[in-house]
Amino acid sequence: MLQSRHLLSGLGLSLMIASLSANAAGLTAEHKAFGKTNDGTPVEQYILRNSHGMQATVITYGATLQALKVADKHGKFDDVVLGFDDVQGYQKGTAYFGATIGRFGNRLADGAFELDGKRYQVPQNDKSNALHGGPQGFDKKVWKAKETKDKDSVGVTLTYLSADGEMGFPGNLSTEVTYRLTENNELRIDYKASTDKPTVLNLTNHSYFNLAGAGNGDILKQVATLNASHYTPVTAKLIPTGELAPVAGTPMDFTKATAIGTHIKADHPQLKFAEPKQGGFDFNWALDTKGDISKVATEVSDPQSGRTLQLFTTEPGVQFYTSNFLDGTVKGKGGKVYPHWGAFTLETQHYPDSPNQPGFPSTRLDPGQTYTHSVILKFTAK
C-alpha cells in the first residue's frame, strides 16, 4: 500500500479546500471541493497532472473519472471523457459517465444468482435484468479519498465499504480504487477488494471516450482494434447465451483496425439486440491477451486529432459499447450536447452474467481472498 500525504490549505471559505503537492518527476495533485449531494454530503475533486500537461480529474461521487485532458497531434488539449460539471448531473444521470461500477458490472439475468445453494436477488433496473449493481450501485455512493504518490506517479485512492445485503449482495465488502497518472501519459486504475462472506464481484470503470473531445461529434470515423478473436453473443434481453463465438465474418471483428462506423448499421441480429432502431455495439469481447497486462488489449485512434488510446488490462473481457442510447438530449460539461454514437466505452471486466454461466470465468470472492484488477490507459498523438 502506498503511503498517502495530504496537505490542506484554505482557499477563502472552508467549503473550498485545496491541496497541492509535487514530486521530483513533475507530477502534481490538487484537491478541492466539488459541491454537495442533494442530502448535503460534501464531494471532493482530485486533479492529477503530469509535466506534459495531461490531466486526470477524479471526484469522490461514484469514484468517478470526471475529466481527462489529453493533447492532440498539434499539442492542443481537450477533455476526452463525457461527464458533468456538477454533482447533481451525476446524481440525476443514468449513463454511468466515468463511474466506478459495482458490485457487479454489466448484467445479471433476472437480477438473481445462487451461491452455495442460496438465491440472492438484486433489484432489477434494466427491464428484467440487474445492471451495474442495481439502482443504487457504487456509482451512486460518495467514497472516501486520499492522495497517493511515488516516484513514478501521482494519484488518489478511494475506498468504500459496502454493507452485507446492500443491493442484495452478501458480505461486507471493502473496496479500494486507485487512479494513478504517470509521466508516460498513462492513467492506471487498480482495484482491490475483500469480503467477510462468499459473494460475487465484477468491478469496472464506465468512462465514455471521444478522442476528438467530449461533445465534439460522433465516433464513427475513429478506428478500433480489439485483440479478441471471440465474443459472447447475447439474447434479445442482452444476456449471454453462454457460448464464445468467433468474430470472424461478423460485424464484431475488430482484430484488424476498423473504423467504428464501418459495420455499426449492419443487418445482423446481435446489433439489433444492442440497439433495435439503428444498431450498435454493446457486447463483451473475450480478450486474447488473457489477463497479460503487458499486451495491448484494445487500441482506438482518431485520424483527425491524431490521438490514440491503448488499453492494457488483467481482465479476461472488455465491453465495447458505442453509446447507443445517447440521443442528443443530455447536456454535459460546458453545456455540450452528447449525440447518438457520441462516445465509446472500454469496460474491462469478467463476462456478463458470470454467476449464472458455469462455463465463464468465475466471479466468486471468498473470505481470505483479495480481488485485484488493473487497467492502463496510455495516450499518444501523431
Query: Residues marked as binding for beta-D-galactose?
Result: 106-107, 206-208, 282
Nearest to 168 by CA among 103, 220, 223, 222: 103
Half-sphere exposure of 259 (CA within 13 A, CB side): 9
Three-class SS state of 271 = helix
Q: Which residues of 72-93 are buried (b: 16+ CB within 10 A; e: fewer)?
A: beeeeebbbbbbbeebebbeeb
Half-sphere exposure of 258 (CA within 13 A, CB side): 14
What cell numbers appear for 73 in the block? 497531434
Neighbours of 173 (CB within 10 A): 24
Residues contributing to the annotated binding site: 106-107, 206-208, 282
Question: What DSSP letter does each residue of 201-254 carry, written as one string?
Answer: -B-EE--EE-TT-TTSS-STTSEEEE--SEEE-B-TTS-B-S--EE-TTSTT--
Count helices and strands (H / E) in the chain.
Answer: 2, 32
348 residue type, one letter: T
For cell 455512493, the residue is: 141
How many residues belong to the chain? Answer: 382
What cell numbers appear for 115 in the block? 451461491
Q: Rounded to the nearest 10 degrees, how much is the dihedral formed by the CA atoms of 326, 332, 333, 337?
A: 70
Q: Rounded to the nearest 10 degrees, how much is the dihedral formed by the CA atoms of 73, 258, 309, 330?
A: 90
Q: Are 108 and 358 in contact (CB under 8 A)?
A: no
Q: Are 123 and 111 in contact (CB under 8 A)?
A: yes
Q: Are 207 and 68 in contact (CB under 8 A)?
A: yes
Tell me the catalytic residues.
206, 347
d(CA 328, CA 358): 39
d(CA 240, CA 212): 32
